[in-house]
Each structure stands twice: as C-alpha cells, then as structure tokens.
Amino acid sequence: MSVLYGRGNGAGTASFQGIKRGTFNRLMVRMGQNKTYEVQGVVAKDAGKLHHVYAFQGYTTETWRDNTFWRRLNLSTRWTYDVSDNFEISLNLRAAIAKWANSLEGLSWLDPKRGLDDGSGKGNQTGGHRDRYDARLFLNYFLTPKSQISYYLFATTLENNMAEIYASHYGPGIQYNPGDVVDGNDQTGKREAYGTGVSYSYKGDIAGRDFSLTVGTDYLWEKQKREMYELLWGYGNKHFTQYNDTEYTVNTY
C-alpha cells in the first residue's frame, strides 16, 4: 500500500529521479515502420532562485496488425524556488494520456496480420484509454547537508477504460450480427485522491558505514468508482446492459 498511489499498486511502486537542476536543452526524434513516430525532450533553466524543468514525450504507432494503434502523451513540469539557502518550495505538475486499440487476430489464422473490425465504423471493441493528472507541492527545509524536513500536498485524478471481446470467441465459426450482445465488456475505473504528509530524512554514514533513514506520517483520502457494461456487436463501444456500478471511499493514515 502506498499513501501516494493507493491500494491499486499491488505489483509495487518504482521511483525514478533524474536531473533536478541545471540549464540545458535536449531533444530526441525517432521514426520507424508501421507509422511509428516519437518525439521527446526536456528544457531546464536556472534563473537565480527559480529553477524550471519542462519535459515531454509524444509517441504513436499503428503496429504491424490492421485496426491496431497505440498513442501516448506525457508532460511534466516543475518549478523550484529557493526561499533561502536552507528552504525551498517545489511545485510539480504531470499529465499522462494514452489510447490504444488492440484488434487481436483476425478471423483467419492464415493471415495473422488481418485485424478484427466490428464493421461499425465507430472504432474497435478492443482497446481503451488511460488519463492521469498529478499535482504535488513540496516544502523542503534542510537542517544540515545530510538531513531535511519535508512537507507535501498531493492530488491526482485517474481514469482507466478498457473494452474487450474475449479472445476465445475470435476465429472461424464465430458469427455476430449487428445488435448481438457479444461475450465481452467495457469497463471504466475512476480514481481521485488527495494527500498530505510530513517526514524527516537523513542520508549519511554512521561508524564509517552508509546509513539512511526516513520517518514521517501521511494521510490520504481517495474515492474509486468502477462501471462495467456489456457490448453490442456492430456498434463500436456502445454500451448495452450495465452489470457493475461500484463506488467507495478510503481514508489511509
């Protein structure tokens, strides 16, 4: 369980920290087959007591199979202001947006490139999107070069959507007509969360050995909602019957 990320991280949480400050510009552009393009870059600038960092990534590909694509956009920015030599305020904003369609295999095993299309012209019934937005405010006070006290405020909103026709029902002998209820579903999960916390951190050495310590307290309020619908063949991701509508709130200390 993570106060920042809630109960939905059963596989664990990974943390990466890159360059925090400096003045530099970096850009990378890549292109490949199947209409694959990627652009990413970072712009950072030290302006006296104010430090800016802006990073972005855009990626799109249509893969090697028909009616399949994957697109994503990542944006991140951070402003850090040095109030004094020992006290800084940092605001971090992030957005991660992704959309995909996965046609799986077509109706013919002889042509694995052929992607299944429901014929509606309104999109595939396998695919989805994921949108996440974060905001974090940190107040850091450095007691010594090896220790600090930090206070933070955190807010996030997340929406996951996934539509799927079960793969066992692809292939010869499976025939759907427009308006048939298919063996699949469209499900959407939404989460919003707000948290705050304070911590003390130390990183140095004791008796010649590396030593680090973090101790603190956190609070998180979050609300999660899940909706699930049956799908109709021939109508894209048009909903039919709703069979799940769950909402709950959790307080974590």
> Per-residue pLDDT for 98 more than 90?
yes
Q: Which residue has the higher pLDDT, 105 or 198?
A: 198
What pLDDT is recorded for position 74? Answer: 96
Cα 212 from Cα 193, distance rounded (Å): 29
pLDDT of 149 higher than 90: yes
The CA distance from 83 to 133, in Å, is 27
Q: Give residue-wise pLDDT tens across range 35-63.
A: 999 999 999 999 889 999 999 999 999 88
pLDDT of residue 175: 66
Q: Name the band, by pLDDT with cuts 50, 70 and 90, for residue 7.
A: low
Beta-ladder partners of 211: 204
Average pLDDT over residues 169-197: 78
Predicted local distance difference test score (pLDDT) of residue 239? 74
Q: CA 166 → CA 68, 185, 189, distances in Å? A: 16, 9, 19
Q: Which of 134, 114, 117, 110 is nearest to 194 (CA)?
A: 134
Across 6-28, average pLDDT: 76
Q: Is the pTM of this model over 0.75?
A: yes
pLDDT at position 55, please? Answer: 95
pLDDT of 227 strictly over 80: yes
Top-confidence residue, 221 or 17 = 221
Parse the chain into domains and list their residue ranges: 28-252
- The yes-or-no verdict on residue 107 having pLDDT over 60 is no
In one letter, which amino acid is 48? G
Q: Is 23 helix (H, G, I), strand (E, B) or coil?
A: coil
- Residue 167 pLDDT exceeds 60: no
User: What dotted CATH number matches 28-252?
Assistant: 2.40.170.20
As a whole number of angstroms, the distance between CA 121 and CA 103 comes to 14
- pLDDT-derived band at 101, boundaries 50, 70, 90: confident
What mean pLDDT do residues 101-124 have? Answer: 61
